Amino acid sequence: MTDSTSTIPPGEGERNAQRGFVQQYRSGAAAIYDALDKDQLIWIGVADRSAGIADDLVLGLPGKVVGHQFKTSTFAKAFQIEALLLGAEGMLLKLVKAWANLHDSHAEARTEIRFVTNDIPSQANNDHLLADKDDHSAAFLQEFELYHHRTLAEWRDTRWQPFIDRLSAASGLSDANFEAFMHSVRFLTGSASDFILTHRLRPEVHPLVEQIAEKLPSLVADKRNKDRWSRAELLAELGSVLQAQVTIRSRRRGAAPEEAIFMHPRQARQLTRDEFEYLRAPQTRDEQRQLPGHRREARGSLDISPGAGTSFNEPFRLQILQGASHRRAGDAKRFY
């Protein structure tokens, strides 16, 4: 029997939770795509048991590990930073534990914790971190973002010193570790929580982001019970659909580069002569242009062919073979 005094209709709580997960996976997918596109992704963690509350998504990047905690509201609302961190939810200690866990697991890398919410910092008249004017949550978080690399001593020389001292005492960390924690934690609120916008992803790649987002829940539930997936494992799980539209750049920067660009055969047939010439970028004027479907072993040659056992509907592999004296790896044009 439903309680007549309940303000939440049956099923609405579950719907709200699912909406939150959809946005969480979409934002996570945008961050993953951006790291892939910049050739920075080494591994990802989803439901990573070493990450504490920042287990929603962990990115392994060159010299850095980034954990994310996503909190999404159906309708964005104002929040007070002191209530969030020091109130009943106790978010400060959860973020501290996540930072410490990741730091201990990846001592060789810099650790960053991102608290991501579409809610916005309060500017309410009853939101006072100090007994001062404009001492609300929005003012503090704005200054925290602008001067993120301040030392603890420098923060204590600002008007925020009483609030900083309350946070430091509640964290249970030494001054040195609390300073390191402050340098590692970021609060991405309001529109900054939309990673498609913050990473400035072009509209034509949004469908790829959605494909990654759709795959993330199955990685969490995968029977292999993995916390982390390498770049190669992730690409294998995403399959040829994604590889058909995204440039897979070689992470090796030495020797004579070889780069493969995956695309659908229909896309390959639509490449213009100018686009082929751009890809080849020959260094000698007398070198003849090469038509699709032919292989020329001279410098800057092209090879367009399906992989072993590839059907017409599967992606072709457009390969650019370059001599060491030719253009750098990664200079090839990407086609979507």
One domain, residues 148 and 78: yes
Inside any domain, residue 256:
yes
Per-residue confidence (pLDDT) for residue 178, from 0 to 100? 98
150, two tokens: 């301040």
One domain, residues 247 and 193: no
Which range among 88-102, 278-292, 322-336 shows the weakest confidence by mean pLDDT?
Answer: 322-336
At 192-234, the pLDDT tens digits run 999 999 999 999 999 999 999 999 999 999 999 999 999 999 9
Most confident range (mean pLDDT) of 104-118, 176-190, 231-245, 322-336 is 176-190
One domain, residues 139 and 274: no
Per-residue confidence (pLDDT) for residue 62, from 0 to 100? 96
The pLDDT-based confidence of 242 (bands split at 50, 70, 90) is: low
Looking at the predicted structure, is the pLDDT value of residue 156 above 90? yes
One domain, residues 272 and 156: no
Looking at the predicted structure, is the pLDDT value of residue 164 above 60? yes
Token pair 């004017």 in the structure block, residue: 133
Number of domains in the chain: 2
Q: Is 78 helix (H, G, I), strand (E, B) or coil?
A: strand
Q: Is 32 helix (H, G, I), strand (E, B) or coil?
A: helix
Q: Is 117 helix (H, G, I), strand (E, B) or coil?
A: strand
One domain, residues 204 and 292: no
Domain range for 200: 12-208
Per-residue confidence (pLDDT) for residue 145, from 0 to 100? 96
One domain, residues 251 and 304: yes
> What is the residue-wise DSSP string for 300-329?
TEEEEEEPTT--TTSPEEEEEE--TTSPPT
One domain, residues 161 and 43: yes
- Pairing relation of β-strands 301-306 and 316-321? antiparallel
At 13-61, the pLDDT tens digits run 444 444 557 889 999 999 999 999 999 999 999 999 989 999 999 999 9
